[in-house]
């Protein structure tokens, strides 16, 4: 017998069940990267005969455009039994503009979407490049521009100001705050040496662009179980675009990730951002997979 209910907070036992489900999904799919249940929003747990078989988290705060965003996962050994469909129906019963992620463009998600009349609203491409053999030359900067690395406690506000202007169109990135950046600095993966800033000479603190890199630990179900680097965020102030600064920042980060001995680098880019895809293709990146958002 199956049942599901929405709740604003998980108790300790429920949180443990969700961690086990997310861990099982990551072992099978390589996703999600985090197995800690998200905080805030709403949680929907679907049980069958006392066992947690499906989990949904709904971010009720929404993205930068006010759309609520859901993540839905069914335990791998309980798929193809209707649990994903019923969890999706429960989401669709709610009011408001809603987006539902399907990481890896999972075929099961596509079947549910077709059954319930959902449309592909967003395609987030995952591009990858093998490091060996790549010709990533020294970055070329315009006159009057220099590169340095991020200094915690000094650069947060300047980076967030550039980020907000560079990503005012982006559903997630444009909403990043100073407090969230500072919280990320406490994460084990944060590496200030791999966080490159471009600033105008003679105007200390005038940041006009940045490249924030990331290194993911080994994941047995993705990328051959090896650690992988990521072009995490490249942001250029709109007033500094068009002069090759984005490419220079990207090269600085790629060369740094290569120096760390990584064999593969990935990045995420919107599927409809043809200019960015073209730039990354010239740097040796190709399509690896895609994450899809569905909507009504």
Residue range 179-204, pLDDT digits in tens:
999 999 999 999 999 999 999 987 56
Q: Residue written as tokens 């019923």?
A: 86
Q: What are phi and psi of 5, to 5 degrees?
A: -150, 150
**Residue 52 and residue 199 in one domain:** no
**For residue 256, what is the domain's CATH number?**
3.40.630.30
Residue 256 annotated in ligand binding: no
- Taking alpha carbons only, the member of 258, 231, 235 closest to residue 245 is 235
**Residue 47 and residue 68 in one domain:** yes
Residue 149 annotated in ligand binding: no
**Residue 113 and residue 138 in one domain:** no
Residue 83 annotated in ligand binding: yes
Total domains in the fold of the chain? 2
**Residue 241 and residue 147 in one domain:** yes
- The verdict on residue 278 lying in a domain is yes
Residue range 32-84, pLDDT digits in tens:
988 899 989 999 999 999 999 999 999 998 898 889 999 999 999 999 999 99
Q: Which residues contact 266 (CB under 8 A, 6 or more apart)?
A: 126, 127, 128, 129, 223, 228, 229, 230, 231, 288
Residue 293 annotated in ligand binding: no
Rounded to whole angstroms, the Cα distance separating 46 from 118 reads 21
Last residue of a domain, one of 117, 137, 152: 117
Residue 12 annotated in ligand binding: no
Domain range enclosing 170: 128-288
Residue 73 annotated in ligand binding: yes
Percent of the chain with pLDDT over 70: 98
**Phi/psi-derived region of residue 96, left when phi > 0, alpha when psi is between -120 and 50, beta in every other case:** left
């Amino acid at each position: 017998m199956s049942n599901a209910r929405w709740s604003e907070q998980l108790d300790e036992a429920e949180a443990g069940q969700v961690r086990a489900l997310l861990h099982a999904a990551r072992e099978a799919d390589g996703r999600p990267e985090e197995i800690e249940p998200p905080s805030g929003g709403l949680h929907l747990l679907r049980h069958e005969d006392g066992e947690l078989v499906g989990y949904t988290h709904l971010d009720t705060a929404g993205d930068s455009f006010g759309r609520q965003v859901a993540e839905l996962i069914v335990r791998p050994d309980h798929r193809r039994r209707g649990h994903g469909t019923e969890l999706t129906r429960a989401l669709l019963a709610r009011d408001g503009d809603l987006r539902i992620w399907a990481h890896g463009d999972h075929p099961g998600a596509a079947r549910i979407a077709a059954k319930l009349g959902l449309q592909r609203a967003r395609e987030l491409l995952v591009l990858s490049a093998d490091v060996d053999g790549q010709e990533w030359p020294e970055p070329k900067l315009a006159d009057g521009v220099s590169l340095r690395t991020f200094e915690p406690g000094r650069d947060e506000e300047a980076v967030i100001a550039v980020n907000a202007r560079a990503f005012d169109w982006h559903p997630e990135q444009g909403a990043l705050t100073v407090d969230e950046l500072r919280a990320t600095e406490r994460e084990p993966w944060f590496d200030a040496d791999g966080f490159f800033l471009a600033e105008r000479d003679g105007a200390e603190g005038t940041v006009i662009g940045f490249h924030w890199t990331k290194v993911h630990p080994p994941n047995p179900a993705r990328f051959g179980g090896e650690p992988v680097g990521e072009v995490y965020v490249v942001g250029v102030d709109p007033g500094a675009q068009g002069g090759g600064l984005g490419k220079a920042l990207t090269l600085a980060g790629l060369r740094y990730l290569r120096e760390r001995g990584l064999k593969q680098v990935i990045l995420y880019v919107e599927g409809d951002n043809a200019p960015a895809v073209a730039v990354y293709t010239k740097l040796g990146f190709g399509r690896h997979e895609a994450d899809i958002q569905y909507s009504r």
